[in-house]
Amino acid sequence: MVPAVNPPTTSNHVAVIGAGAAGLVAARELRREGHSVVVFERGNHIGGVWAYTPNVEPDPLSIDPTRPVIHSSLYSSLRTIIPQECMGFTDFPFSTRLENGSRDPRRHPGHSEVLAYLRDFVREFKIEEMIRFETEVVRVEQAGENPKKWRVKSRNFGDISDEIYDAVVVCNGHYTEPRHALIPGNKINHSFSIGLGIDTWPGKQIHSHNYRVPEQVKDQVVVVIGSSVSGVDISRDIANVTKEVHISSRSTKPETYEKLPGYDNLWLHSNIETVREDGSVVFKNGKTVYADTIMHCTGYKYYFPFLDTKGEVTVEDNRVGPLYKHVFPPALSPGLSFIGLPWQNMKLQTLDVNELIGQCFGYLLVIPFPMFELQSKWVAAVLAGRVSLPSQEEMEDTKMFYLKLEASCIPKRYTHLMAELDSQFVYNNWLADQCDYPRIEKWREQMFYKVFKRIQSQASTYKDDWDDDHLIAEAYEDFVKFPSNYPSSLIEREYTS
Ligand code: FAD
């Protein structure tokens, strides 16, 4: 049901946590609705994960809670999975820029082009004036004297600030706090000093969060745990310089043992059965390899160390809840909200081995930026009083959704998963309807389906070889409506690969 859209009534003082893509677009939407906004960013730059750094954390598995945290998880060679036309915000085209050869004109550009796009966005909408850099939010709680207000404590080097806001929008990202696999025979879950010599398995262990360049594992035998996006992408990245790469996948049948096409040193196995003190890694398929490094490509956790809601919002097995539509906790809405939690798009099914590589890439195919934008519009409009939320009781229906997941034996950690191919569009269009904003463009949706298919059929070439020029043309016809990011040089673009 589309709610009544009312004239704006309220201007709030809003704290946004994080200046990644989500925080930047949230700040823009909040200000557009007339709110005053402070964006807290603990780093000294915008862009969040897209601000690549060669630096890694001193603890290669990122387990030690006292370690200095490096935010970005990107590796040097990373190019976008999603074509740029599809990936950008709806009213600020992510289109090819050709200025002075300083930009990356590829359709699936490298990470620096995404950062450049976000910098253009910040400049165009004058977002930087709202950001407090090098200011980490260390605590968020309801203000004792007025529970409708929020106390935000932040730290800028040695200075602590303690301020009251009408609302807090959490945009701190969820690709920084690693998840780890349980490996039988390995004490990884009992020791912070894993990889330092006292573990059962004597080799080196690293989480993909701390992977940057293939040279890190040159001439080694590497076992990669995890066959989703980062696992497969990194396996390809390192295969050219390593002796052997063995991917361990829990999504395959126990007997799985396949040499993967295009490489003579890349194998796919089932789960690890055990690891041993002699350096061997035994897979459930019965194969044994002696590995130098185990790379954990096992994903990330939602993590809000600053948030104290007295138990109203919890993170259990990676479910952040209860949250109405993945955004508002019913008991604390609209003062507290979360942008960017929904993730990935995969079928909860055992994968056919022959399709694995493609399927794995497909896992990350939620298109985050337009979703952040629509969630932000909704939050901003609700805070302004222009759009109403259902009653708290109705929002508590979220619990029914959780019960349904449980009844279907779907673990809590899949709560924010956009499980079906079209789920994200259904969700995005619901958000757009709430705010009386146009729905996601048809070309964007079709482009997404096209890239999803391409990934499955041509996993190693899909970023440079495509057959949807007609959709690119449609996108660019739309982009003309937004001249601020559509330089005339774009006309020079060649769509052919
Ligand atoms: P982030 O970019 O992580 O930003 C969060 C910000 O919050 C950071 O700047 C951080 O410093 C700040 N912060 C955190 N805690 C605090 C605090 N307490 N106080 C103050 N500031 C804080 N998306 C795509 O669209 N296409 C792709 O091809 C793609 N590939 C990806 C590949 C990898 C390997 C990864 C990890 C992600 C990829 N993504 C991709 C998803 C990407 O994460 C999103 O595109 C998006 O950039 C996430 O934005 P965010 O703002 O939610 O989080």
- pLDDT one-digit tens code per residue, 37-52: 999 999 999 999 999 9
Q: Whose CA is nearest to atom 42 of ligand 1?
A: 49
In the reported structure, the alpha carbon of residue 391 is separated from the centroid of ligand 1 by a whole-number distance in angstroms of: 32
Tokens representing 39 are 């964006």
In the reported structure, the alpha carbon of residue 263 is separated from the centroid of ligand 1 by a whole-number distance in angstroms of: 31
**Looking at the predicted structure, is the pLDDT value of residue 57 above 70?**
yes
**Looking at the predicted structure, is the pLDDT value of residue 177 above 50?**
yes
**Looking at the predicted structure, is the pLDDT value of residue 483 above 80?**
no
Confidence at residue 7, expressed as pLDDT on a 0 to 100 scale: 57
Query: Which one, of 129, 330, 136, 355, lies nearest residue 260 by Cα?
Result: 355
Confidence at residue 356, expressed as pLDDT on a 0 to 100 scale: 40
Confidence at residue 353, expressed as pLDDT on a 0 to 100 scale: 36
Contacts of 8 (CB under 8 A, 6+ apart): 33, 34, 384, 385, 386
**Residue percentage of the chain with pLDDT more than 90:** 67
In the reported structure, the alpha carbon of residue 253 is separated from the centroid of ligand 1 by a whole-number distance in angstroms of: 33
pTM, whole model, 2 decimals? Answer: 0.92
Q: Which atom of ligand 1 is nearest to the CA of 340?
A: 52
In the reported structure, the alpha carbon of residue 144 is separated from the centroid of ligand 1 by a whole-number distance in angstroms of: 32
List pocket residues of ligand 1, CB cut-off 6 Å. 17-23, 40-43, 48-50, 71, 73-74, 78, 80-82, 87, 136-137, 171-173, 175, 230, 306, 340, 368-369
- Identify the band that residue 487 occupies on the pLDDT scale cut at 50, 70 and 90: low
- Residue 339's beta-bridge partner residues? none
Q: Whose CA is nearest to atom 44 of ligand 1?
A: 368
In the reported structure, the alpha carbon of residue 431 is separated from the centroid of ligand 1 by a whole-number distance in angstroms of: 21
**Residue percentage of the chain with pLDDT more than 70:** 88
- Cis peptide bond upstream of 334, omega within 30: yes
Query: Which one, of 294, 295, 296, 274, lies nearest residue 285 by Cα?
Result: 274
Q: Which residue has the tokens 């004036």?
A: 129
Q: Which atom of ligand 1 is nearest to the CA of 108?
A: 28
Phi and psi dihedrals of 379, rounded to 5? -60, -45
Phi and psi dihedrals of 165, rounded to 5? -125, 160
